[in-house]
Amino acid sequence: MPRGMTLISSVAALAVAATLSLVWINLWQQQQQLQRMQQWQHALLQLKQAQRAFFKQQQRFALNQDELLSAGLLPHRLSFPETAEWRFQPQQHVLLMQTEVALAAPRLLLGDAGNPPAYNWQPPTLTVKVIGYVN
């Protein structure tokens, strides 16, 4: 085989290997994000169910996760990656749970590099409504 063909074959093989590596890394990252989202959703479901159970027992909502732990309604303190601490705002038979969600995307800073940014993107606030049912 001529020397030039060997070089072309080697470069082509390296290009294919690099492409396959990038595809594998991308799939792995997507799988990790999906798994993190599923864990987050499961923890939120547990928190909502614990609040409803607490309401049935106490006729009020818990003001924090510690109350739910003390009542034996949560096995451990629930973790919500990329969020601030949940704030509970009870209103009779409705509980508003709010937290700030920090997205994985980089913060958007608009403005000149030498000047302070004209606009600072802030993470959105998520509000979850939990309804307590009276027997």
2 lies in some domain: no
27 assigned to some structural domain: yes
User: Could you report how far apart the first and last alpha carbons of the chain are, in Å?
Assistant: 84
Mean pLDDT of the chain: 81
- Strand locations in the chain, DSSP E? 87-91, 94-100, 109-110, 119-120, 125-131
Q: How many domains does the chain have?
A: 1
* Residue 1 forms part of a structural domain: no
> What pTM does this model have?
0.68
What per-residue confidence (pLDDT) applies to 104?
52
Instruction: Answer whether residue 11 is part of any domain.
Output: yes
Report if residue 13 sits inside a domain: yes
For residues 86 and 97, the answer to whether their CB atoms sit within 8 Å is: yes
Instruction: Work out the average pLDDT over 49-76.
Output: 93
Which structural domain, as residue segments, surrounds residue 58?
7-132
41 in a structural domain: yes
Residues 4-58 have pLDDT tens digits of 678 888 888 888 899 999 999 989 988 888 888 888 888 889 999 999 999 999 9
CA neighbor of 56 nearest in space, from 5, 130, 1, 114: 130
Give the model confidence (pLDDT) of 78-89 as tens digits. Answer: 988 778 888 999
